[in-house]
């Protein structure tokens, strides 16, 4: 089945993915598009949404996108920056000023299908510096907004031009704070663009069965089963489309798995009826050999990715004599991050896109049935395919596993003096004590990879470090991309980095700590409220005691592309502290407080 689609042009606004998600929840397929994509790409859609952006339309920032978009004869809805670009393109005027933050009341001036189901006044969410002050010919002012009672109304908060099929809203319909925003996006996709609401998980499955059969024909399919939701759902789709005997599953224990994970995964796959060609190889030694003496995060990723492919090829030769296809559980954010926009490609190499896999993709030998889906949609699909609740609620786990959570060091690392000085000063300004760790980790700042020091905050209670304080410190401190709270010991003592790489001994310690954190989250009933909680080992010794500093990194997120630090209650914190500090190897415990950006979820 072919689905009507809306293209969401991502100008780098924080919420572009939310726009796509919300349109999809109205059962219309939506896809993120690069602003500089060729005209042919835009022509595929029945409607286009132009997203918001950190750029200023009034100053012609980010204006080097493909303006052929405006030649399309399909409806275009601009949001915030997109709204201003539409106004400007068609002879209107945008100025720097008239900014509104947060909640506002939108007052509709006209009846229009875009606002079907909206009262005359509705609560909306605003976040802009620039505003539209004039519109070109054919445009109608559809609504105004005010940020509080008695405050002057802002004009042109919505504009429409039915003849040209151009629409714009200054507010963000994609965020939940715009109470009827979902309805507006559904109205746009269905009533204005005329898209049929056929994008359901049931239809998606049917389409994927069909596509898989046509693409693969009678060839065998090989799949690396990590035990995560994505690869398991992929396996079930392929098995149902082709029959279980065509699908070969290989679970590799790469030595970088969590405690007792491989055993559990094999049992799970068997319980799902995927045991027919289920293969297992313990390649832990091979992976660890490759990682000997390596401390650079990107190099670690390359080695892990390449070793996966080498083991896969070797194993495949054992039981597949002729050409086979490779199935992967790649999901939408992965393809966007690696292939599409400028960003995460430089931030980290995704293990599904190492050079050898890229080559197979070019040869047309890779199938990725989930490549259009967000994690929440994969979970819906998993439920349809009979995955247990326990499997569906599992936190995501990265392909390179604990390899990216075991930080390595040569042993001579030191914190930069200037960075340390400025960090301590910034912290003081906010009434906190702070020092810089002599170790760097990966982060993302202004859409670019950063590799910077981590700052540690102490001397106040954890509850006092609210998001605003941490955000301000991170914003003002130079050369820092993360902040963590010192949970144990209470005061920092002399500390030093020790030389350490990814070794079995370190991984075993990390597995122990990770399993304790996992238990605590479950016991306190907060496992489901958290997107993911990586536990990271730093080869950093405080006061000459123990071997590793353990970092707990709880985050809330809905797609993993942005994240907020999850905040523990005092009871959880005490429990974590008591259990982890009783392990001999634990020298210190940190709780990461960083959002993404400027940190990433994994430390690397
Ligand atoms: P970052 O660290 O970039 O992670 O903020 C975002 C999300 O992606 C997961 N992640 C990966 N998943 N292969 C995966 O399948 C990878 O190479 C990989 N690297 C990061 C990470 O755990 C988080 O959920």
Which residues lie closer than 8 Å to 422 by C-beta, 6 or more apart? Answer: 477, 478, 479
Q: Is the pLDDT of residue 570 over 50?
A: yes
**What separation in Å is there between the alpha carbon of 401 and the centre of ligand 1?**
9
Residues β-bridged to residue 536:
551
Phi, psi of 77 (to 5 degrees): -110, 125
User: Does the C-beta of 351 come closer than 6 Å to ligand 1?
Assistant: yes
Mean pLDDT across the chain, nearest whole number? 93
Provide mean pLDDT across the span 422-448.
92
pLDDT (0 to 100) of residue 127: 86
Q: Is the pLDDT of residue 86 over 80?
A: yes
More confident site: 177 or 294: 294
User: Does the C-beta of 400 come closer than 6 Å to ligand 1?
Assistant: yes
If you search the block for the tokens 């709880």, which residue do you land on? 554
The minimum-distance atom of ligand 1 relative to the CA of 596 is 5
More confident site: 480 or 347: 480
Q: From 256, 255, 252, 254, select the one nearest 266 (Cα to Cα).
A: 252
Q: How confident is the model at residue 340 (pLDDT cuts 50, 70, 90)?
A: very low
Other C-beta atoms lying within 10 Å of the C-beta of residue 231: 23
Provide mean pLDDT across the span 261-266.
93
User: Does the C-beta of 377 come closer than 6 Å to ligand 1?
Assistant: no
Question: Radius of gyration over alpha carbons of the chain, in Å?
Answer: 26
Among 330, 560, 599, which residue has the most ligand 1 atoms within 8 Å of its CB, making it the best to mutate?
A: 560
User: Does the C-beta of 401 come closer than 6 Å to ligand 1?
Assistant: no
User: Does the C-beta of 300 come closer than 6 Å to ligand 1?
Assistant: no
Q: Is the pLDDT of residue 13 over 80?
A: no
Distance in angstroms (rounded) separating the CA atoms of residues 386 and 478:
49
Span of 6-15, 336-345, 523-532, 548-557 with lowest mean pLDDT: 336-345
Distance in angstroms (rounded) separating the CA atoms of residues 444 and 442:
7
pLDDT (0 to 100) of residue 447: 62
Q: What is the pLDDT of residues 181-202, one digit of tens each?
A: 999 999 999 999 999 999 999 9
Task: Tell the burial category of 31 from Cβ atoms under 10 Å away from its Cβ (0-12, 13-18, 19+).
Answer: middle
pLDDT (0 to 100) of residue 420: 97
DSSP result, 174-207: TSTTSTTHHHHHHIIIIIIS-------HHHHHHH
Structural element, H or E, at residue 49: strand 47-50
If you search the block for the tokens 């027919």, which residue do you land on? 276
C-alpha distance from residue 538 to each of 86, 405, 507 (Å): 50, 9, 11
- Cis amide prior to 489 (ω within 30 degrees): yes
On whether the CB atoms of residues 406 and 416 are closer than 8 A, the answer is no
Structural element, H or E, at residue 581: helix 570-581
The minimum-distance atom of ligand 1 relative to the CA of 532 is 24
User: Does the C-beta of 47 come closer than 6 Å to ligand 1?
Assistant: no
**What separation in Å is there between the alpha carbon of 585 and the centre of ligand 1?**
27
- Cis amide prior to 12 (ω within 30 degrees): no
Q: Is the pLDDT of residue 27 over 90?
A: yes
More confident site: 356 or 284: 284
Span of 122-126, 150-154, 378-382 with lowest mean pLDDT: 150-154
Provide mean pLDDT across the span 254-272.
94
On whether the CB atoms of residues 256 and 403 are closer than 8 A, the answer is yes
C-alpha distance from residue 439 to each of 62, 220, 420, 514, 577 (Å): 35, 46, 12, 21, 22
Give the residue, by CA position, lying nearest to ligand 1 atom 14.
Answer: 398
pLDDT (0 to 100) of residue 54: 84
User: Does the C-beta of 559 come closer than 6 Å to ligand 1?
Assistant: no
- Cis amide prior to 528 (ω within 30 degrees): no
Longest CA pairwise span in the chain (Å): 77
Give the residue, by CA position, lying nearest to ligand 1 atom 17.
Answer: 350
Q: How confident is the model at residue 446 (pLDDT cuts 50, 70, 90)?
A: low
Q: What is the pLDDT of residues 457-491, one digit of tens each?
A: 999 999 999 988 999 999 899 999 999 999 999 99
Q: Is the pLDDT of residue 339 over 80?
A: no
**What separation in Å is there between the alpha carbon of 445 and the centre of ligand 1?**
16
Phi, psi of 107 (to 5 degrees): -115, 120
Q: Give me the sheet containing 221-224, strands edge to edge.
A: 278-282, 247-253, 221-224, 325-327, 366-367
Give the residue, by CA position, lying nearest to ligand 1 atom 20.
Answer: 398
Distance in angstroms (rounded) separating the CA atoms of residues 549 and 540:
6
Q: Is the pLDDT of residue 349 over 80?
A: no
Distance in angstroms (rounded) separating the CA atoms of residues 410 and 296:
10
pLDDT (0 to 100) of residue 332: 83
pLDDT (0 to 100) of residue 14: 66
Residues labelled as active-site residues: 80, 172, 174
Distance in angstroms (rounded) separating the CA atoms of residues 369 and 373:
9
On whether the CB atoms of residues 455 and 428 are closer than 8 A, the answer is no
Q: Give me the sheet containing 586-592, strands edge to edge.
A: 433-445, 448-458, 480-488, 586-592, 548-552, 535-538
pLDDT (0 to 100) of residue 323: 84
Q: Is the pLDDT of residue 343 over 60?
A: no
Q: How confident is the model at residue 336 (pLDDT cuts 50, 70, 90)?
A: low
Q: How confident is the model at residue 429 (pLDDT cuts 50, 70, 90)?
A: very high
β-pairing verdict for 325-327 and 366-367: parallel
pLDDT (0 to 100) of residue 590: 98
**What separation in Å is there between the alpha carbon of 164 and the centre of ligand 1?**
42
**What separation in Å is there between the alpha carbon of 354 and the centre of ligand 1?**
14
Span of 33-37, 226-230, 446-450, 568-572 with lowest mean pLDDT: 446-450
* 66 SS3 class: coil
If you search the block for the tokens 């996992």, which residue do you land on? 518
Q: From 380, 59, 374, select the one nearest 203 (Cα to Cα).
A: 380
User: Does the C-beta of 601 come closer than 6 Å to ligand 1?
Assistant: yes
Provide mean pLDDT across the span 128-156.
93
User: Does the C-beta of 532 come closer than 6 Å to ligand 1?
Assistant: yes
Q: From 132, 120, 37, select the one nearest 83 (Cα to Cα).
A: 132
Provide mean pLDDT across the span 23-47.
96
Eight-class DSSP state of 423: H
**What separation in Å is there between the alpha carbon of 75 and the centre of ligand 1?**
35
More confident site: 338 or 243: 243
pTM: 0.84
DSSP result, 7-21: EEE--S-TTHHHHHH
User: Does the C-beta of 398 come closer than 6 Å to ligand 1?
Assistant: yes
pLDDT (0 to 100) of residue 344: 38
The minimum-distance atom of ligand 1 relative to the CA of 557 is 24
If you search the block for the tokens 């090989």, which residue do you land on? 222
User: Does the C-beta of 543 come closer than 6 Å to ligand 1?
Assistant: no
Among 442, 602, 603, which residue has the most ligand 1 atoms within 8 Å of its CB, making it the best to mutate?
A: 602
Pick the most confident of 237-246, 283-292, 593-602. Answer: 283-292
* 544 SS3 class: coil
What is the 3-state composition of the chain as percent helix, strand, coil, each rounded to the nearest 5?
35, 25, 35
On whether the CB atoms of residues 490 and 386 are closer than 8 A, the answer is no
Provide mean pLDDT across the span 96-105.
88
């Amino acid at each position: 089945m072919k689905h009507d689609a809306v293209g969401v042009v991502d100008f780098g606004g924080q919420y572009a993915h939310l726009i796509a998600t919300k349109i999809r929840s109205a059962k219309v397929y939506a896809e993120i598009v690069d602003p500089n994509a060729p005209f042919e790409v835009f022509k595929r859609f029945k409607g286009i949404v132009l997203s918001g952006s950190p750029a200023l339309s009034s100053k012609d920032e980010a204006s080097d996108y493909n303006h052929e978009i405006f030649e399309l004869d399909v409806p275009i809805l601009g949001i915030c920056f997109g709204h201003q670009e539409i106004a400007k393109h068609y002879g209107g005027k945008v100025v720097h000023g008239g900014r509104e933050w947060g909640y506002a009341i939108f007052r509709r001036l006209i009846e229009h299908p875009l606002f079907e189901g909206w009262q005359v006044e509705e609560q909306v969410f605003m976040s802009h510096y620039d505003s539209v002050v004039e519109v070109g010919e054919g445009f109608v002012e559809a609504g105004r907004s005010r940020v509080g009672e008695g405050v002057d109304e802002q004009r042109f908060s919505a504009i429409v031009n039915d003849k040209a099929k151009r629409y714009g809203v200054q507010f963000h319909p994609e965020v939940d704070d715009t109470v009827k925003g979902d309805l507006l996006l559904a109205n746009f996709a269905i009533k204005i663009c005329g898209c049929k609401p056929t994008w359901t998980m049931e239809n998606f499955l049917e389409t994927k069965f069909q596509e898989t059969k046509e693409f693969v024909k009678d060839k065998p399919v090989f799949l690396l089963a990590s035990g995560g939701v994505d690869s398991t759902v992929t396996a079930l789709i392929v098995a149902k489309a082709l029959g279980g005997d065509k699908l070969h599953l290989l679970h590799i224990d790469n030595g970088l798995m969590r405690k007792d994970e491989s055993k559990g995964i094999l049992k799970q796959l068997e319980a799902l009826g995927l045991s027919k060609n289920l293969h297992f190889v313990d390649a832990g030694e091979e992976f660890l050999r490759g990682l000997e003496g390596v401390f650079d995060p990107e190099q670690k990723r390359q080695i892990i990715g390449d070793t996966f492919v080498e083991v896969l090829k070797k194993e495949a030769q054992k039981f597949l004599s002729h050409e086979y296809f490779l199935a992967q559980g790649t999901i939408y954010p992965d393809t966007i991050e690696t292939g599409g926009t400028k960003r995460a490609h430089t931030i980290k190499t995704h293990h599904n896109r190492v050079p050898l896999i890229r080559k197979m993709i070019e040869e047309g030998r890779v199938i990725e049935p989930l490549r259009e889906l967000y994690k929440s949609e994969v979970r819906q699909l998993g439920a349809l395919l009979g995955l247990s609740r326990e499997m569906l609620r599992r936190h995501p786990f990265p392909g390179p596993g604990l390899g990216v959570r075991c930080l390595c060091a040569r042993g001579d690392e030191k914190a930069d003096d200037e960075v340390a000085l400025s960090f301590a000063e910034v912290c003081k300004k906010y009434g906190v004590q702070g020092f810089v760790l002599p170790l760097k980790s990966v982060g993302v700042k202004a859409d670019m990879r950063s590799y910077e020091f981590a700052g540690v905050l102490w001397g106040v209670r954890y509850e006092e470090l609210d998001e605003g304080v941490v955000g301000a410190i991170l914003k003002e401190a130079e050369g820092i991309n993360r902040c963590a709270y010192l949970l144990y010991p209470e005061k920092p003592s002399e500390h030093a980095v020790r030389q350490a790489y990814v070794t079995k001994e370190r991984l075993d310690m990390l597995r122990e700590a990770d399993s304790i954190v996992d238990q605590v989250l479950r016991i306190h009933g907060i496992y489901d409220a958290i997107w993911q909680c990586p536990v990271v080992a730093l080869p950093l010794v405080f006061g000459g005691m123990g071997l590793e500093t353990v970092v707990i990194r709880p985050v809330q997120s809905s797609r993993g592309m942005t994240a907020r630090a999850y905040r523990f209650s005092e009871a959880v914190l005490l429990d974590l502290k008591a259990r982890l500090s009783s392990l001999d190897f634990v020298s210190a415990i940190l709780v990461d407080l960083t959002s993404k950006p400027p940190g990433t979820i994994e430390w690397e």
